[in-house]
Amino acid sequence: MESSSDARSADERSARELRQELAKRTASNAEDWFLVFKARYGMQLVFDALRELYGPGSACTQLYTCCTAVDPILAAGLTPAYGDVQRETIMLDPSTMPLASDTRAVMMQHTFGLIDSEASAALAARTRKESQALLVEDSAHCVTRMATDDQGRPLADISVHSFGVEKILPTRFGGAIWVNPQLSASAPEYNRLLRSRLASLPRPGKRLDMVTRMYINENRVLGRLPGGAGPRMRSWLTRVGLYEPPIAKVEQRGGLGYAPMAPTSWMETTILRSLHALEANESARAGVVSRFRESLKGSDAVAVPRQVMAGEAQPLLRFPIFAESTERAEGIIAALRDAGVYAERWYRPELFPGVENPDAYHVPHDRSHLQVTDELVAGAVSLPTDLNQNQISAAISVVTR
């Protein structure tokens, strides 16, 4: 029978090996990586420490995102302030982000895993020129990939990576926070507080350990139930604590489901195993992106962000296309699903999959400065990039016709 000391030793070993792997893949130091149960809880600690040290204020972000990217801001007692996105990169437009004297953070989101060095550098430059805000990189869609400057140095103060549901790795749970070592000089008190809290997170209890291990098989069974039985059973399992949903109801109301936690040892081992297959995963996705780019180049059927089509094909989580209207977008999604390609409407509605009370998220009533966001939300269609050759051909056929 395994002793408690043996279990602790195994836990420490799995965490250490995962941090070392993350460091190796990013040319960074293992001591700057911290593991979390879900990326959103790590983000909460980032914002908690900002509010505790510097007081209430705002965090600049975008509406073309998931609600769980904004929930940590609200949970920490900060106020989200929304700027428009760039049509070419789908990231926060530096010229529209509402910087103020009390801006505590600026979010640099690499939507669908699209990293644009020039746009990222411009966002970082304005942030540092006009504010004391922390630059937080949302790399949830691009594991171990970060925006860097001309010398290859990371631009962000904090980089957030997710291994959760609907992400690059098939691990379903887990996340990591990278803390820039330069913070020890530029914000020493914040650096000490954040690192201390990230390093002392408790492990989940036995229930969460069990339900996270069951997640994939639960979905397989629930997906085979006839009619509406699957969703009803999933709701019941969630209520009794036997199913961990990708987005909980409380997370559509501006809250988070749990206090921040570390991952389980099983999650860390699963993530590490998946990271060893990351090159093949990314290569396959980049190949699918290349096929889509070749087929949709010059197309007038849909619009594709310019940076998606530029340079070397990136291993995107989703290939974004935008129709001229919501009606056309929904028609494309329906046709793709009929053809066996499970296209999504990320992110329609904004703060996907939608929130119960937009006012609780401080969504502005005057949207005159959010024109690009509104247009992209209206026509959004996102194509999966984990497709076989038949599915790729089917997707191209549907979209081009």
CB atoms within 10 A of CB 249: 13
**What local confidence, expressed as pLDDT, does residue 5 receive?**
58
Asked if 49 and 176 sit in the same domain, the reply is: yes
Asked if 181 and 69 sit in the same domain, the reply is: yes
| CATH assignment at residue 178 | 3.40.640.10
C-alpha to C-alpha distance for 314 and 382, rounded to whole angstroms: 15
Burial 39-61, CB ≥16 within 10 A → b, else e: bbbbbbbbbbbbbeebeebbbbb
Domain that includes residue 125, residue range: 4-199
C-alpha to C-alpha distance for 265 and 11, rounded to whole angstroms: 5
Asked if 23 and 97 sit in the same domain, the reply is: yes
160-203 pLDDT, tens digit per residue, is 999 988 899 888 899 999 999 999 999 999 999 999 999 999 99
Integer CA distances (angstroms), 187 to 27, 49, 122, in order: 22, 12, 22
The answer to whether residue 272 is domain-embedded is no
Confidence class of residue 298 from pLDDT cuts 50, 70 and 90?
Answer: confident
Asked if 337 and 188 sit in the same domain, the reply is: no
Q: Are 49 and 158 in contact (CB under 8 A)?
A: no
Q: How many domains does the chain have?
A: 3
Asked if 87 and 156 sit in the same domain, the reply is: yes
| CATH assignment at residue 380 | 3.90.1150.10
- State both tokens at 14: 């799995």
Indicate the pTM of the whole model: 0.94
Q: What is the mean pLDDT of the chain?
A: 94
